[in-house]
Amino acid sequence: MAEENQTIDSSSDYDVTEQIGHLLRRATQRHTAIFQNNIGDPQLTAIQFVTLCALYDKGPSSQIELVEATAVDQATIRGIITRLKARGLVQLSTSDDDKRKVIISLSADGLTLIQSIIPKAQRISQLTVERLNPAEQVAIIYLLKKMSDDSGDEPS
């Protein structure tokens, strides 16, 4: 029978600061800081912005449609919708087809806000990748899309 507690080789070359998860987290932290410093609305988080963008692009949507559009789980999207509603940026109504189904849509204030901050968001994206040359900028977007593609098999 194999020994359950294996000794970790202390001479291994594993450096956590060189690992993909650590580097992605650091890049995300940097992007989040750039977002907060440049979006112009201290109450708006990046995920709230993504939710507003989904509503702007797709129009009135159910909670499940927002989960699919934003890749945010159901419980989190519910909280985001609650906070956006409290700010008057979205409004809720019931579906004409199914009265149990809640439809979320941008309010007039939400539409005004999203239209005013999209140029800032474009600038935030530029600032996030400014250290990269044009070819690297294209490559990182391509690679991140490829890494986050859920259409393939689940990793083991």
Q: What is the pTM of this model?
A: 0.81
Q: Which fold has domain 19-141?
A: Arc Repressor Mutant, subunit A (1.10.10)
Condensed to tens digits (0 to 9), the pLDDT of residues 46-87 reads 999 999 999 999 999 999 999 999 999 999 999 999 999 999
pLDDT of residue 95: 81
Is the pLDDT assigned to residue 117 strictly greater than 80?
yes
Residues 94 and 103 sit within 8 Å (Cβ to Cβ) = yes
pLDDT of res. 17: 87
61: β partners: 104
Name which residue leads in pLDDT, 124 or 8.
Answer: 124
- The reported pLDDT for the residue numbered 8 is 58
